[in-house]
């Protein structure tokens, strides 16, 4: 009897990245470690803001954030970039009243990733859903969606402050030989 074929190397990398994101305290921390481990860039992780209108939180997101009537959530859409590699697209709906003024200012005016900005809150990340998107036998293109994650960030005492929707891209699987910048 022939043993089953091993999954392609990219499938194992995707599974590893998903597991690390599920277990990590923030996507920022996981991706920064991932980039360093894969030798992608010494420049670090940057959150490039994407233009467009602010999107209101859905009713489901408002419930997850325990937003009372009249309290608002802000929207921040970014692509997380490590060197020349766009690793993911992220939509963050966060509650400004639950962050410090300095955090709100940084989120509004800098390219710092969300997890780095709110690090002082010691956030706990709870993954609500993971959806596989890419399952082809060939390695994915850099811009191919691999999987999506829906998560919630809360303080250690359980106060939710950010609902997240993330799309991870094939560039997250790159290694140092793929670095062009």
Which CATH code fits 9-175? 3.40.1410.10
Contact 31, 45 (CB under 8 A): yes
The CA-to-CA distance between both ends of the chain, in Å, stands at 47
C-alpha gyration radius of the chain: 17
pTM for the model stands at 0.91
At 7-46, the pLDDT tens digits run: 578 899 999 999 999 999 899 999 999 999 988 877 789 9
pLDDT tens, position by position, 66-112: 999 889 999 999 999 998 999 999 999 999 999 999 999 999 999 99
């Amino acid at each position: 009897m022939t043993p089953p074929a091993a999954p392609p190397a990219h499938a194992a990398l995707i599974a590893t990245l998903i597991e690390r994101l599920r277990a990590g305290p923030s996507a920022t921390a996981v991706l920064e470690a991932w980039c360093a481990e894969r030798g992608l860039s010494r420049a670090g992780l940057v959150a490039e803001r994407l233009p467009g209108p602010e999107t209101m939180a859905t009713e489901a997101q408002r419930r997850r954030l325990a937003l009372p009537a009249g309290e608002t959530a802000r929207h921040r859409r970014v692509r997380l970039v490590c060197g020349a590699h766009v690793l993911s697209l992220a939509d963050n709906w966060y509650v400004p009243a639950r962050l410090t003024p300095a955090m709100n200012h940084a989120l509004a005016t800098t390219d710092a990733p969300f997890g780095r900005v709110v690090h002082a809150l010691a956030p706990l990340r709870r993954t609500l859903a993971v959806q596989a998107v890419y399952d082809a036998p060939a390695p994915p293109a850099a811009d191919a969606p691999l999987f999506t994650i829906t998560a919630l960030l809360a303080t250690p005492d359980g106060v939710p402050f950010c609902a997240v929707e993330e799309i991870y891209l094939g560039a997250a699987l790159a290694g140092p030989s793929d670095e062009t910048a």
